[in-house]
Structure 1
Amino acid sequence: MFLKNLFKRTAEKIELHDIQAIILRDRPLPYHGVNVFLEILNAASAKAFMKEIVPYVTNAKNWWDNDDAWLAIAFTYEGLKKLELPQSTMESFPGAFKKGMAARSEKLMDINENAPEKWDAVFKATGNHIAVSIFAKGVDDLNSKKALALQVLEKHRGVKLCYQADFDTPIEGNFNHFGFRDGISNPEIEGSGAAHLNSKERPIKAGEFIMGYANEAGNHYPMPQPMEFAKNGTFVIFRKYHSHVAAFNKYLSEQAKSTAEQELLAAKMVGRWRSGAPLNMCPFKDNAALGADARKNNDFDFSNDQNGKIVPYSSHMRRMNPRNSKMAVMSDVNLHRIIRKGVGYGVPLAEGSTKDDGKERGLYFIAFSAKAMETLEFLQKEWVNNGNFVSLKNERDPIIGLNEGKGTFTMPGDPLPKRYIGMPTFNTLKGGMYLFMPGINAIKWMSGV
């Protein structure tokens, strides 16, 4: 009993009032919003802008209440340089953050059709210094928050609006462009007050996601300096994907004859039915009620499916969170989790259409981690675009992997596995960046308050 108490995990209290709400808050349903990139032309003007905008940056004190519009702000390394922060602070950032996402393309497997030279022009520009995101449940609330932010921006000519892109729930009911329920499985942060919905997993130490707290190893990850700048901050992954929905529908129709067979193949590729119901809990047919139940649709592990016959090892969900899967290359799954806040953009394709209409649609992938650069590079190179960790050699993620018409997807079966070949890339990368998201007090420190 003494030893049990000695090594008992204790939840560290986190300073919700100083953490930006977007890290903990669920997207509203439906959601509406905007992503904005700003260029810093003058440090003094930018600091004045930050001083005036900080009251509108939403903190996480009441993170569970997502009915109002909420605003978040983050900075690229070049943006922090433009703010003329102390040299010691700039030198304390990780090398991958300093170089930026484009310069790390080989490490990320952002090559060929995903290579930086093929990205949208805005992501090739050098003036992306500040990113502002606004989320809202209603369009009126969004427009009100946007108007307030623009009023502040217009007063400070040393900060220039470079890019503005709206986003919305792609398909009513929280479904992405491929027709799958979105945003289901995020890790629970210990000490946040979040309800514990997965009885098979435990909450993860706050330090894996937010700086200044203990991580899973009981230590603190290296942080930018000084402490008042880094505490309660995090690193942000921002990536824009174009979704090839028609190609996905066409591939299903070519590989499976009946609608039921196509839906099963799609579910095997993702790891869930379109409703969000996990294959592990309903392996033979969809269960819409389960898919819609946030208290049940993530409460499972793979204890009953260690051979992958229900949920293939190569499925998107099992790659991104292997849970308790037996892996050929061992790794602590909790060290590679990220908090995702992806949002859709563009109008939906006609349901079931196999003909592309030429319109832009896809996903802004937004994620948070105290070691975001290291985590993303691991996920992209080892779990998304490689199959060695589950003994599948060069097989790649069927949904976000770089398959380029040569992809293979293995579905275990009796007596032999079934292998699908010739898979194209269903999500093409159109740009990305790394950002630092400071705590509320750090924004004040940066602006000289």
Structure 2
Amino acid sequence: MFLKNLFKRTSEKIELHDIQAIILRERPLPYHGVNVFLEMQDGQSGKAFLKELLPYITSAKNWWDSDDAWLSVALTYEGLKKLELPAATLESFPDAFKKGMAARNQKLMDINENAPEKWEAAFKDSRNHIAVSIVAKSKAELDAKRQIALHILSNHAGIKLRFQADFDTPVEGNFNHFGFRDGISNPEIEGSGAEQLNSKERPIKAGEFIFGYTNEAGNHYPMPQPFEFARNGTFVIFRKYHSHVAAFNKYLSEQAKSKDEQELLAAKMIGRWRSGAPLNMCPFKDNATLGADITKNNDFDFSNDQSGKLVPYSSHMRRMNPRNSKMAVMSDVNLHRIIRKGVGYGPALTNGSTKDDGKERGLYFIAFSAKAMETLEFLQKEWVNNGNFVSLKNERDPMIGLNEGKGTFTMPGDPLPKRFIGMPTFNTLKGGMYLFIPGINAIKWMSEVSL
């Protein structure tokens, strides 16, 4: 696996053996997996279940070797309450985490099409307590791990299976449902051991993502108590999106005449060609070799494109990581980064089809941050659903913004910019939740702690 060659054991400074693998480990290619959501009937059942599952939870030790399947576990605030943790520990969690994602919908711009009342039933109540996630490189390995988890589950009558959400690589070669290469541009974490792939960026302090380490400000973010419980854990963002791929293809066909023009518009909306090649490195034609090269496809900044004529300011890639763009509303980009581990679900749509086949397909957006709730609220309200920070008024992200048939996308050019109007919402939110993913030792503590 290529990641083995990008790892420097001498730079390992964080406690990988106590951090769950999913936070750092890259998905295998192809990938297959399942998210299992469980309900706890009582705290003793929950503790017994976690204790039996503990030996199978995969740590981030040797995280660069993604050949093996791995299993992780996280809990919602309602799950932590059901586990009957000490009152002081429960009280130490942030209010946004306690209230849950649905209750914060106004701050997240989860309104109208994306409003909680329109979410799937599984996300509308507080009975999702434990989430078990399994990722593997083959269906056989996935099924083997799944059977272990289900066998353990069968030993605990007080733990009920709510639902399973299977996922896998949507399109061969790690492309998402819209046909773009996926999994590019995660931040490099100081002390994780990964070699720096972007010569224009420096690794970000581990404390931005994992509790117990120094953050970008040189201190520690507020964390759940006691310290030993929080250390090497973090918060998880989980959001399910339905992707309207046919609507995306239809919009391209309506806005651009030729196939080449449609591909250029799609690339401008994303900031990359479908291969993953960044526009500012090859602005006129896709370069599949560059797009597939992990050592090069993210090694850039926007110093050669401050006007946005190569990569529009409103493109998805530039909004979510402005790098060194000159923004109207200044912000430290490193404070708003997240580790993204999203995965696709559902069958691929027939290539280029503009007719919806009625099948469920989309993305499970999974991300990690030591201040996940605050970061997501900022990203959703300011960078995704607002354009003021790049002088584009109320223009929204073309791919994940709430555009509702009224969206506008601006493509700078000479002598005048081009504006594309009437853009629909291409990804509709179907549900979401916040979770806490503990360190390995914290799971042991939770399985044994008593009031």
SS at 1:36 equivalent: strand
2-side partners of 1:268 and 1:150: how far apart? Answer: 45
How many Å separate the matches in 1 of 2:226 and 2:249? 51
**What are the within-5 Å matches in structure 2 for residues 132-281 of structure 1?**
132-281=132-281
Q: CA deviation at 1:13?
A: 1.9
Question: Which string of whole-angstrom CA distances, capped at 9 and with x for unpartnered residues, describes residues 157-196 of structure 1?
Answer: 1111001011010000000000000001100000000121
1:330 is matched with 330
- 1:114 maps to amino acid: N
Aligned counterpart, 1:83? 83
Amino acid at match of 1:29: L
Partner of 1:284: 284
In structure 2, what is the equivalent of residue 379 of structure 1? 379
SS of residue paired to 1:246: helix
Aligned partner of 1:312 in structure 2 is 312
1:243-279 CA-partner distances (Å, limit 9, x unpaired): 0000000000000000000000000000000000000
Alignment of 1:405-444 (within 5 A): 405-444=405-444
Q: Which residue of 1 aligns with 2:369?
A: 369
Q: What is the identity, as a one-letter code, of the residue corresponding to 2:407?
A: G
Which residue number in structure 2 is paired with residue 7 of structure 1? none
Alignment deviations for residues 410-441 of structure 1 (CA, whole Å, 9 cap, x no partner): 00000100000000000000000000000000
> Which residue identity lines up with residue 21 of structure 1 in the other structure?
A
Instruction: Name 1:356's counterpart in structure 2.
Output: 356
Q: Which residue of 2 aligns with 1:402?
A: 402
Query: Per-residue CA shift, 1:317-345, capped at 9, x if unaligned?
Result: 00000000000000000000000000000
Q: Deviations over 1:64-95 (max 9, x none)?
A: 01111100100000000000000000100000
For 1:388 and 1:12, locate their aligned partners in 2 and report how far apart those are by CA, in whole Å.
40
Provide Cα deviations, 1:218-258, integer angstroms capped at 9, x if missing partner: 01000000011100000000000000000000000000000
Quick one: which amino acid aligns to residue 267 of structure 1?
A
Aligned to 1:23: 23
Which amino acid counterpart does residue 443 of structure 1 have in structure 2? I
Q: Which residue of 2 aligns with 1:3?
A: none
Given that 1:35 and 1:131 are in contact with CA atoms closer than 8 Å, whether structure 2 keeps it comes out as yes
What displacement does 1:149 show? 0.8
Alpha-carbon displacement from aligned partner over 1:20-60 (angstroms, at most 9, x marks no partner): 00000001000000011000002111101100101110000
Letter in 2 for 1:224: P
Give percent identity, aligned residues only.
84
Q: Which residue of 1 aligns with 2:103?
A: 103
2:128 aligns with: 128
SS of equivalent residue, structure 2 residue 73: strand
TM-score of the aligned structures, taking structure 2 as reference length: 0.97
- Matched residues in 2 for 1:42 and 1:387: separation? 47
| Paired position in structure 2 for 1:8 | none
**CA offset digits 1:67-124 (Å, max 9, x no partner):** 1110010000000000000000010000000000000000000000000000001001
Q: Is the 8 A contact 1:16 1:59 kept in 2?
A: yes
SS of 2:106's equivalent?
A: helix
Give, as a single letter, the amino acid of the residue that structure 1 aligns with 2:381: K
CA distance in structure 1 between the partners assigned to 2:152 and 2:329 by the alignment? 51
SS in 2 for 1:37: strand
Contact 1:12–1:213 (CA<8 Å) still a contact in 2?
no
Which amino acid counterpart does residue 283 of structure 1 have in structure 2?
P
Taking the TM superposition and a 5 Å limit, the aligned residue runs for 1:15-54 are 15-54=15-54
Cα distance in 2 for partners of 1:124, 1:424 equals 25
Give SS of 2:381's match.
Answer: helix
Q: Which amino acid aligns with 1:345?
A: Y
Q: Is the partner of 2:313 in helix, strand or coil? A: coil
* Conservation of the 8 A alpha-carbon contact between 2:12 and 2:192: no
The one-letter amino acid paired with 1:86 is P
CA distance in 1, matches of 2:14, 2:436: 19
Unaligned runs of 5+ in 2: 1-10
Aligned partners of 1:143 and 1:355: how far apart in 2? Answer: 34
Secondary structure (helix, strand or coil) at the match of 2:74 reads strand
How far does residue 384 in structure 1 lie from its aligned partner after superposition? 0.1
State the shift of 1:12 in Å.
8.2
How many residue pairs get aligned? The number is 440
Q: Give the CA deviation at 1:125.
A: 2.5
- Residue 126 of structure 1 deviates from its aligned partner by 2.0
Verify the 8 A CA contact 2:19 2:439 in the aligned structure 1: yes
